Structures are given as C-alpha cells and as structure tokens.
Chains A and B, each alone.
Chain A
Amino acid sequence: MSADNQLTRTQRDDLRTIAAMIVPASDEYKVPGADDPAIQADMLATLGRDTKLVAAALDHLARLAGAPLAGLDAEKREAVAQQFRKSGGAAAATLARVVLQCYYRDDRVLRSLGIELRAPFPKGHVLPDGDWSLLDPVKARGGSLRQVP
C-alpha cells in the first residue's frame, strides 16, 4: 500500500481481476462485470475505512498467485480464487463485500433488476394492505394468556 493509504497499481489490477471473477459481465442479463471501469472507480473512491482490510486481502491474493492474477491461465486463476475464498478470512470477506456493494448500486445493474434508480426517501414505496381475513382462523382458535397466581 502506498503512503497515501490508497491501493498500489498492482493491487488495483488484482482487484479488477478478482472482481470480474466474482461478478463477470453477462450478455444474457445485459449487465457489466464488476471489473467495469465505472464500478472499479466507485470502489476505489469509496474504499474509506475498508482500505486496510482490502489491501490485506489483495496482499494475501498476491501471495497465493505468486504473480499478477490476470497473467495466470484460467485454471490456475480459478484455483487461486477458490483458495483465496477459503483462506482469506475477514479480509477476503471485506473485499467481496466492497465489490458487491458497489456492483449492486450501479445504474445499469439496478435497471437490469427492475429497481428504481433513487434513494428510498422521499418517495418511499406502496405496500398492499393485504387480506386480513387470513387472521380469521387465528381468531377462531382463540387462546389465553398463561394464568398468573
């Protein structure tokens, strides 16, 4: 990690590669992968308090790979990723969370999921009131509180 608490170039390359392995692009669902430049930029810009753990995860990944992840053949890369997921602990979990929380707020991804591109407030949501006659069997069965002497 460099002095300004940001990821190094090598770490950023590995983050991009592992992010694409977590969530690859899909033609079927018309969504980018998590290695998309805009999503990567979001990750780097909002790492904040997670920087240290993500950097630790990437260091662990680099040790497992022994070389830039992108340079490995597909089979070896897959094996490294599996080992990383298995042995990475809290740091690997943090890295996966950072990837997913940025991926699932990307406009293209949310559109693909049919989710409106907005904050919950102030519009909120409308819920069906529902059919409260469903409670009739509970009312019919009745019951009572446990008696207290």
Chain B
Amino acid sequence: MQAESPGKRRGREEEVAMKDPVDVLIIGAGASGAAVAWSLADTRMHILCLEQGGWMNPAEYPSTGRDWEAKFFGEWSSSPNVRGRPEDYPINDDNSPIKVVNYNAVGGSTVMYTAHWPRLHPSDFKVKTLDGVADDWPIDYDALTPFFEENDRMMGTSGLSGDPLSPLTHPPMPQQPMGLSGAIIGKAMNKLGWHWWPSDTTVATMDYEGRARCINLGHCTPACAQGAKSSTDITYWPHAIRAGVELRTHCRVREITTDENGMASGVVYYDKDGVEQFQPAHVVIIACNGVGTPRLLLNSKSSRFPNGLANSSGLVGKNLMFHPYAQIYGYVKEPTDSNRAPPTCLWSKEWYDTDLSRGFVRGYGVQFVRGAGPVFEAVVSEQKGILPWGEDHHRVFRKLNGHRLGFSAICEDLPEEHNQVTLDPVLKDSHGIPAPKIDYTISENSRKMMEHALARGREFLETAGATDICINSPIPWGGWHLLGTARMGIDPERSVVNEWGRSHDVKNLFIVDGSIFVTSGGVNPTSTIQALALYIADQMKQRLANLFD
C-alpha cells in the first residue's frame, strides 16, 4: 500500500461521505467479470463494474485497413509491454521463458483471443485422485455443466456435437468450414489413425443474437470487425447493462480497502481523469485474470493483512500456470487457408489423458493452425532463417507464402509454488501502482510433454507432406492463459478462495477469474473460466441471506 498524504485521506473521507455504497462492486469487465455481472443482475442489486480500459471501436480494428498485419507488431500486439496503451499496465516477465499476453478493455482478453472453445474434461477436476499429482478441485465437472451450457448460449458457440474424446456440448451453430487447411489436416490425421474433430469456437457461423456471421476476415485473434467472434463487450455486456448494471470505464483500481472487522469496504481507484476516488461496496468481486488479481491483492496490504489481502495461506500469486505451447509448423505443396480464415478450426484430444509409457504425467490438447498472412510469413520466416536475403528471396517466399500448416500442443502446466506473480520493486504503471513481476520456469514434466508433442507434430506434418519444418517451443509470447494464482479449495491453509469463490479470509470478497483454477487442464480455459464465474454467481444468489456466514 502506498503512503497516503493527510490531504489525500481527507479527500477520500469526503468521497466516502459523498458516494453511496454499491451492493456489488466488480473489478474487471473481461470474460469473467461480464459473466458474473450479467448473472447477478437479476437480483436487482446495485451492481457497479470498474474497468481500466474503455469500449472498443470495431471500425478501428486491424482488419479494416490495408496495414492490418503490421499493426500486430505494434499497437495491436498481444503483449501489453509492446502495445503500451494507456489502458495497459507493464509486466516484468524477464524471468520467464513465456511472456504474458492480455488485453485491457471492456471485453478484456476476449477482444484478443483465438475463440477456441474447448472445456476442461471431467478428469481435469480429479488430478490427484487419478494421477497422484497436484490437487483435486473442490468441485467437479457436473457442478459446472449447466453453466457451461448457459455460457455457450450467451457467448454463441459453433461446433459439431458428438466428439468421442471431448465432453458433450450442444453448440447452437454449425462448425466452421473445413477450408483447404482442414482437409489437409484431416487426411493426414486419418492416415495416422489419430483423433481430430472440428473445434467448438465462439465464432458465429450464422447470424446469432444480433451478431453477423463470420465472413472469414482472416486472423481474428486481434479483434473481429464483423462482430462474429464473441467478446464480452458484444455478448454479455449489452444484456447486463440493459438489466441495470453500471459499467464505469477507464477506472483503474489501486487497492481494496477493509474495515475494522476485516471485511472489504470498497476500493480506491483512479478515474478517467486520473483523480483518486473511493467507492464503498458491500461485496467486492475480483475478475482481473491470473496476473491482475494477485497484483491487486498484493497491492492491498494493510496492518490487518500485512502480506496482502486474502493471503493468510501465503498462496496469493503462487502456482502460476501458463500452458506452455509446443508449436511445430511446416509448408505443404497445396495451398492452405493462409490469412483467409479464423486461425484455428480443428482440435485433437489424442494425447489428452495420462499414459505413463510416454514418460510424463497428464497430457495436452492440440489446436491446428490454418496458416499465416504474407507479412507475418515474411517476417517470421526471415527470423527463422528459412527466408533468405538476396536473389533467392522471391522464389522461396512464393514457396512458403500461403502454404503453412501448424500443430500447436497446449501442454498441461501443473501447479508449482515457485512459479509466481509478485510485485516488482521498481516497475510501476502510469498511475504509480506497483506492476506485477513474473518468475516462471517450465517443469521437467512439461518439457517431456512438449518433446512428445513436437515428435507427434513432426509425424503429422511429414504425413501431410510438409517440408521446412520449424519449431516454437515454447511459443515465447504465448502466455495467454493466466491461471492458478488464487486457487480454490476447502482448506484455508492450502487455498485462497473456498469452493464457491469466496475468500477464506475476507467474507465479502470473491474471485471469479482464472486465478482460482486448481489445475490447468490441457485446453484453452476461457469457456471454463466463464462457467466458473456463472457458477459462483449462482452460489452467491442461493446464499444471499447468509452470504457472509
């Protein structure tokens, strides 16, 4: 907590006198914050969400301009450190082979994600029981099933029901077209006798709930100008706001305050003009992701909570899980979809479950990659050394461009306390708030898993006829999934929140984002993060009469 001048404190006291407390204050308007806001709205409580970013303007999205690819290297980079928008906060990830990527706006990182939509498997909730590693979750898959379904309907999913190796889903829209790349992938996987299936995605393949269908603008990870890719600014938020939730943008929370009883009393934040404000609240819900949430809790130190808020276990910030990505790609003779489609369309669960004969425990999901645009292809291939300088440049570029096919393994990262988020002693954001520092290493188990995935990926690519095979392992700017840093559990000494998301230490403080994951599974987590947020909101609604007992 920063030292506070008497003048500032007096200002805050005046604010307290001026501002009415809200019933529920949500911090963060991304994947989980939007879902929990929408779900709680039917209680008719006064709900306020503070978001450090602003509303996005699709007319300014990269795909509306000819220089769409160049923007990925600057203002539309997935790295907040590169992007450096005023809404972003810096992250010291020098001591990590995997760099954090995120987005700060209404919609959060759903503005900038691949929209790949697998769920954790039932077995992911029982890791200790099944494999003797890490911990079981305090809840199981069945507890989340109705919320997965509700979330799929709200976000709008596309896919093909009936995958034998994935949990049963009921996407309201048909799967994405197979395209040129999908056919090549399917044929190669069939030759090898390996599982593959069209991915569930949050890309609308038909007009859905006021959103237009996908027209294949191309690489839609950095936002969709068509509005076909679900981000919570265009799914949950319009509904939540219509239901009465107040959303205040460009408001960055510095700390959560507590009262003499050790209950959360509100938050101190900087408004859009940079003026410090205090907002009292009866309930505080944190939805800031696996890096932003521990940062906020650690920045909320006080004499009662000297190690940070909700941190009697000492586990706030610990057990950071990223999902190391082992990516391998090559170039086939046939044309691929290149930049003419969403980047992913198919997955494989062939290696998802533990098989100890592979030399590691747990497993990985695979997402296949359709290709790349010309600028990305040129830049990355030059850096990899497969695109020469000089006379032969043009011949080689024509061989590579529009022929790329990729295999990306999402390796399950097991929780380890030394992988952590702390506060950087020097680095601060534009409001002077201490920035997060990441210390992370890839475990031996993960390394073996990644090697296994690369070997399978090479077999796949060679079967597809690919040459010029390249590897990114880990994908350096692949820290999309920020998990585990305020884990849920029944034991207050081994977890930060209980089995329904409430802090063990502060009984009116809840966490609903990926930081409460106990283990990471081997899939993209957003579907499960949002199902958890809806589950926690439902638990809160059921317990309103004795929420703080």
Contact = CB atoms under 8 A, between A and B. Distances in A.
Interface of A: 21-24, 26, 28-29, 31, 46, 48-50, 81, 85, 93, 96-97, 100-105, 110, 113, 115, 117-132, 134-135, 137-139, 141-149
B98 to A, nearest CB: 18
Interface string B427-463: 0000000000000000000000000000000000000
Interface residues of B, number: 67
Secondary structure dominating the interface of A: loop
B193 A141 contact: yes
Contact of B183 (A103, A134, A145): A134
A52 to B, nearest CB: 13
Given A24-B391, A48-B74, A148-B140, A131 B217 contact: no
Nearest to B142: A148
B73 A135 contact: no
Nearest to A115: B374
Given A130-B177, A135-B197, A145-B123, A124 B186 contact: no
Contacts of A138: 164, 189-190, 195-197
A128 B215 contact: no
A63 B162 CA distance: 63
Interface stretch (B8-16, B268-276, B378-386): B378-386
Contacts, number: 170
A85 B389 CA distance: 10
A143 B74 CA distance: 45
A145 B167 contact: yes
B177 A23 contact: no
Contacts of A128: 177-180, 183
Interface stretch (B21-29, B60-68, B467-475, B530-538): B60-68
Contacts of B254: none
B130 A148 contact: yes
A120 B389 contact: no
Contacts of B195: 138, 141, 143
B340 interface: yes
Interface string B332-369: 00000101110000000000010000000000000000
A79 to B, nearest CB: 13
